Amino acid sequence: MAEPMKIRATLKGDLAEVRVLMVHPMETGQRKDAEGRLVPAHFIQEVSVRLNGRSVLEGQISQAVSRNPVFSFRLKGVKAGDKLEIAWLDSKGERSQAEAAIA
Amino acid sequence: MNPARRIALKFAAALAAGLAAPLRALAAWNKEAFQSKTAASALKELGVAASTESKDILIEAPQIAENGAVVPIEVTSNLPGTRSIALVIDKNPFPLTARFEFGEGAVPYVKVNVKLGESSFVRAVAEAGGRHYTAAREVKVTIGGCGG
Amino acid sequence: MHRIAALALALAAAAGAPCALAQDAKTEIEKYQQMIADSSPVELFELQGETLWSKRQGPKNASLEHCDLGLGAGVLKGAYAQLPRYFRDADRVMDLETRLLHCMTTLQGRSREDATRRVFGNEDKPSEMEYLSAYIAAQSRGSPMAPGTAHPREAAAYELGRKLFFYRAGPWDFSCASCHGEPGKRIRMQELPVLSTRAGAGPVVATWPAYRVSNSQFKTMQWRINDCYRQMRMPEPTYASDLTVALATYLTVTGKGDLYRGPGTKR
């Protein structure tokens, strides 16, 4: 898919509800493909959320998070225009990053 | 120094600071904990010696999931000073599913879609004030439909 | 005496329990269905579809942006909700995928073979049709389902679809109605909607195409029809054929009126 990550951040007062949609197979290493071969494990392991350049949330996750992960977080003391940056690192060392401004 | 140069320097410094701090969790992915085959050993690897049940940890999860591939789990910790929340799915081959650390500005709340291999208890372990607290919810997983 | 009374009570409770459980299970499953819809990655498919809509392809190096889905060239808002319908330029009743195929061949100059080479994708690589369906369907969110019914060809498609719905064939002597023609039918934990009634078909046509969490694939109505035939052990129908369009017409007309709330997210 074109975009590996989509961020939606909405503000209520000074509380931001952040939803992230990620494109990732999150293969457990236990699934078999159409030919009966085991698909090797390949999943996001680390997720980081930064607000205006400062780390506010760090996550470590396993292959038990669903394919095409969907996360929701909440941040406080936030104002419109604040910059969100979300990045992930997976088990193959691949990375992705996306930015959004709080609306 | 003229104002434009001051702004430019400020921007450059901010950029440098952003680039210098690594965009990854401060500790490397906790392989021992995530590859533990029991909830107990996973929590031990996370340094959770003991934990108390707490009603201040709220777990929102479906009672019955039509499919174990996507089970939305929502955890809120109302314990003051919650620094982290870990998610453990007892019956999964590798029970530790996620662990989130909350910095200043993050509410101790997370919602994530997880996989359940079979019906299982889903546990949230919160760390607050140097101690650990837990709550659990049972989720039943069904196999649905005609496989289509 | 007390022990007998206690046993009788226990038996009575056990006998009553299955009925209560069934209703609770139904409510809990409905809650699950709502939860996965709220936490769905389906939007990613819509976004990719948007990119494909404006991608230049084929011998004519053209995009689909001038495709007329019934409301005018390039008009997407509410377009999905008024399909299937008769199209004069093709002299056929067409559903979304049939119409997209038409635009791929006429606007982009692609052959039918080329455009239908891989219409049903998988979790690693969804198909072009699946992405486009997600995007276009999303533009009808909130619109009432209002397929064409006035044109004689639309009425004929509905009639054919209705006949097909009840037509028993194949090694199991199944028809669509075998599973979807009577209330109270279930496959494992899935309640089967009665698709020959408005109440049953309404929510269904208002939530397809859909992302299937069980296999992380985005599925379209053409796929659904194809797969039902496969499950009934009948030959799979030709993609975007008059048969499939007739069935889609029958289902959508039967279920018309609900506000479209897809693309859906299902188990």
- Least confident among B6-10, B21-25, C85-89: B21-25
- The average pLDDT across C46-62 equals 97
| Count of other CB atoms within 10 angstroms of residue C57 | 18
CB contact under 8 A, B144 and C267: yes
CB contact under 8 A, C43 and A21: yes
| A68 contacts in chain C (CB < 8 Å) | 41, 44, 216
- Judged against a pLDDT cut of 90, whether residue B147 lies above it is answered with no
Active site residues of C: 228
- State the smallest CA–CA distance between residue A38 and chain C in angstroms: 15
CB contact under 8 A, C231 and B144: no
Does C89 reside within a domain? Answer: yes
Q: What is the pLDDT of residue B14?
A: 44
Q: What is the pLDDT of residue C12?
A: 46
Does C250 reside within a domain? Answer: yes
Alpha-carbon Rg for chain B, nearest whole angstrom, is 20
User: Do A27 and A63 touch, CB atoms closer than 8 A?
Assistant: yes
Q: Kindly give the pairing relationship between strand B82-89 and strand B96-102.
A: antiparallel
Chains touching C (3+ CB pairs < 8 Å): A, B
- Judged against a pLDDT cut of 80, whether residue C157 lies above it is answered with yes
User: Do A65 and A3 touch, CB atoms closer than 8 A?
Assistant: no
Q: Tell me if residue C199 falls in helix, strand or coil.
A: helix
Give residue A90's pLDDT band: very low, low, confident or very high (50, 70, 90). very high
Mutation to test the C interface, candidates A23, A65, A68, A71, most C Cβ within 10 Å? A68
Does B88 reside within a domain? Answer: yes
Mutation to test the A interface, candidates B23, B29, B87, B88, most A Cβ within 10 Å? B23
Query: Measured between alpha carbons, how far is B64 from C71 in angstroms, rounded to an integer?
Result: 42
Query: Measured between alpha carbons, how far is C133 from C48 in angstroms, rounded to an integer?
Result: 10
| B63 contacts in chain C (CB < 8 Å) | 28, 31-32
Q: What is the pLDDT of residue A33?
A: 85
| Smallest CA–CA distance from C125 into chain A, residue | A1
Torsion of CA B5, B7, B12, B17, to 10 degrees: 140
| C25 contacts in chain B (CB < 8 Å) | 64
Which of C25, C29, C36 lies closest to B70 in CB terms?
Answer: C36
The size of the B-C interface in CB pairs under 8 A is 59
| Count of other CB atoms within 10 angstroms of residue C69 | 26
CB contact under 8 A, B145 and C267: yes
C142: exposed, middle or buried (Cβ count in 10 Å: 0-12, 13-18, 19+):
exposed
The size of the A-B interface in CB pairs under 8 A is 115
C149: exposed, middle or buried (Cβ count in 10 Å: 0-12, 13-18, 19+):
middle
Query: Measured between alpha carbons, how far is C99 from C82 in angstroms, rounded to an integer?
Result: 12
Q: What is the pLDDT of residue C126?
A: 95
Closest CA to B88 of B125, B141, B51, B47: B125
| B62 contacts in chain A (CB < 8 Å) | none
- Judged against a pLDDT cut of 50, whether residue B17 lies above it is answered with no
- Judged against a pLDDT cut of 70, whether residue C1 lies above it is answered with no
- Judged against a pLDDT cut of 70, whether residue B47 lies above it is answered with yes
pLDDT tens column, B84-139: 999 999 999 999 999 999 999 999 999 999 999 999 999 999 999 999 999 999 99
- The average pLDDT across C22-34 equals 88
Q: Kindly give the pairing relationship between strand A44-51 and strand A83-90.
A: antiparallel
The HSE-up count of residue C171 (CA atoms within 13 Å, CB side) is: 6
> Cα A63 to chain center, whole Å?
13
Greater confidence (C202 vs C24) lies with C202
| Smallest CA–CA distance from B113 into chain C, residue | C39
| Smallest CA–CA distance from C229 into chain B, residue | B148
Token pair 């998988």 is at which residue?
A: C122
CATH, residue C152: 1.10.760.10
Counting DSSP H helices and E strands in chain A, the numbers are: 0, 7
pLDDT tens column, C220-244: 999 999 999 999 999 999 999 999 9
CB contact under 8 A, A1 and C48: yes
CB contact under 8 A, C215 and B70: no
Q: What is the pLDDT of residue C186?
A: 87
Does C81 reside within a domain? Answer: yes
Does B41 reside within a domain? Answer: yes
- Judged against a pLDDT cut of 80, whether residue B19 lies above it is answered with no
- Sign of the dihedral defined by the CA atoms of residues C101, C104, C107, C109, in that order: negative
User: Given CB atoms, is A94 within the 8 Å cutoff of chain C?
Assistant: no
Counting DSSP H helices and E strands in chain B, the numbers are: 3, 9
- Judged against a pLDDT cut of 70, whether residue B12 lies above it is answered with no
User: Given CB atoms, is C41 within the 8 Å cutoff of chain A?
Assistant: yes
CB contact under 8 A, A1 and C44: yes
Range of the domain at C155: 41-266
Counting DSSP H helices and E strands in chain C, the numbers are: 10, 7
- The average pLDDT across C49-66 equals 98
Mutation to test the C interface, candidates B59, B63, B70, most C Cβ within 10 Å? B70
- The average pLDDT across C247-263 equals 97
pLDDT tens column, C202-211: 999 999 999 9
Q: What is the pLDDT of residue B26?
A: 52
Query: Measured between alpha carbons, how far is C99 from A93 in angstroms, rounded to an integer?
Result: 42
Q: What is the pLDDT of residue B3?
A: 56
Query: Measured between alpha carbons, how far is C229 from C174 in angstroms, rounded to an integer?
Result: 9
Give residue C109's pLDDT band: very low, low, confident or very high (50, 70, 90). very high
Which of A1, A3, A67 lies closest to C216 in CB terms?
Answer: A67
Mutation to test the B interface, candidates C24, C34, C39, most B Cβ within 10 Å? C39
Q: What is the pLDDT of residue C224?
A: 97
Alpha-carbon Rg for chain A, nearest whole angstrom, is 15
DSSP run (H or E) holding C153? helix C152-166
State yes or no: cis peptide before B93, omega within 30 of 0. no
Please state the domain count of chain C: 1
pLDDT tens column, B132-142: 999 999 999 98
Give residue A34's pLDDT band: very low, low, confident or very high (50, 70, 90). confident
Please state the domain count of chain B: 1
CATH, residue B97: 2.60.40.2470
Dihedral pair phi/psi, residue C149, rounded to 5°: -135, -15
Q: What is the pLDDT of residue B145?
A: 64
Does B146 reside within a domain? Answer: no
Average pLDDT for chain B: 86
Please state which of the four CATH numbers 3.40.50.970, 2.60.40.10, 2.40.70.10, 3.40.720.10 is assigned to the domain occupying A5-101.
2.60.40.10
pLDDT tens column, C161-196: 999 999 999 999 999 999 999 999 988 878 899 999
Token pair 């209705």 is at which residue?
A: C162
- Least confident among A42-46, B10-14, B53-57: B10-14
Query: Measured between alpha carbons, how far is C6 from C12 in angstroms, rounded to an integer?
Result: 10
Query: Measured between alpha carbons, how far is C259 from C137 in angstroms, rounded to an integer?
Result: 12
Residues in CB range of C135: below 8 A, 6 or more apart: C45, C46, C47, C48, C49, C50, C52, C53
Q: What is the pLDDT of residue C191?
A: 86
Q: What is the pLDDT of residue C18?
A: 43
Q: What is the pLDDT of residue C2?
A: 61
